[in-house]
Structures are given as structure tokens and as C-alpha cells.
Amino acid sequence: MNKPSDCVETSANLQRLKLEFGAFFIAAPIAIAMLFQPDWMFPSLFIFTAIGIGLLHLTPGFAWAELRHNWRGWSWSELTIFSVAMIAFCSALVLITSPGAAFSLLLNRPELLAVIWIGYPVASALPQELLFRSLFFRRYQAILPDGQAVYFLNAGLFSLAHLMYWSWIVAFMTFAGGLVFSWAYCKRGSFFYAVLLHAVAGNIIFAAGLGVYFYSGNVQRPF
């Protein structure tokens, strides 16, 4: 049986986790979107990412080696279906919303697109998955809701982290992506699969021309 002091300590720890969770996943993204100028967004995101990786490293029971767990827990058929669906969706979306940008890098700057394809998985997809899948589900497991609600919470916060772009297109795509990536991480039990799907999605987005919505130079705040 727990001693009263143990219960108080547990309650205090849970409260601390809730405050930390709210500060990191809610307050920080809103502050970056509301207070920072576009040219300061990426430096602030770098700091945000560094803090998140530090928190993950300090998470009790976490070991970096566990990221290799079930790294083969994915199938070519799933990846193919996802890729084809992404190509069809992104192609239609860019032709409807920004036809002038459609496939611009692919047609006009293939060398730049190649650099993005090489760099995006490591520089963007990997750190984002560390924060929004590993950190989210490992460090804050005790305060997360049960059942399907946790996936919608994860996707919602992943979308909120992209508020700085002030785009409903970005908000929708990141919410949908958050659902897929959290499914890969939790249901397939594979961090690698989450990163792989994230990388494929991002590279298709840039190839289709939707990267214009993820460019800080195009950000237009509604205020």
C-alpha cells in the first residue's frame, strides 16, 4: 500500500508533467506563431527541438536504443498504397489551390528537389517524430487519454505545431499526417516506420509543389 507521502509525490509528478506538456506542446507553438517574425521561426524551432530532445533523453526508463525496436515492422504494400494516395492527393490539391506552383521544383529545379529529398528525412522528419511520437507517447504516457482519443490529441498538437504557417492547407495535412504517423508508431510499434512515412509524405509534398505552403517567406499572418 502506498504511503500518503508517495501519493502526494505521484500527484505532484503528474501535475508537473501536465504543466510541462502544456508548455511544450501548446504554449510554445502558439508563442512561436504569434510572437516571432517569419525569419525567426526556424531558429526558434531549432531551440524547441533541442529542448524536446533533451526532455526525451531525461525521460525515466527511456533508452535511445529502443528507437530501433521493430524497425522492420512495415510492409511494402502499405508503403506503396500510402505513396500512391499521397501523390494523387497532393497533385489534386496543388492544381486546385496553387496551380502556378504545381511540380515547379520537379520540372525546373530537379537538383534542388534532390537536395530536399536527401535532407528532409534527416533534418525534418526524424526530429519531428522524436518530439511528436517518441517524446509525446513515452514521457507523457501517464497523463494521456485512453483509446482513440490519444491519436486525435497527438494529431491536433502536431497540427498546432505548424500554426506558424497560418494556412488551413498546412493545418489539414499535418493533422491527417499526425494520425497516420501516430498509427505507425503505436499500432505498428515502429519509430522507423513513422519516420519513413513522414519522410515519404514530405518529399511528395515538395515534389508536387505544395512546399510553397511550408515556406516561411510566404507566411502571411491574419493580424
Domain segments of the chain as ranges:
4-218
Task: Work out the average pLDDT over 50-55.
Answer: 97
Task: Work out the average pLDDT over 204-222.
Answer: 91
Dihedral Cα 30, 34, 39, 43, nearest 10 deg: -30
- List all residues 6 or more positions away from 206 whose beta carbon is below 8 Å from its beta carbon: 105, 113, 116, 117, 120
Q: Percentage of residues in the chain with pLDDT exceeding 90?
A: 85
pLDDT at 5 over 60: no
pLDDT of 186 reads 96
Q: Percentage of residues in the chain with pLDDT exceeding 70?
A: 96
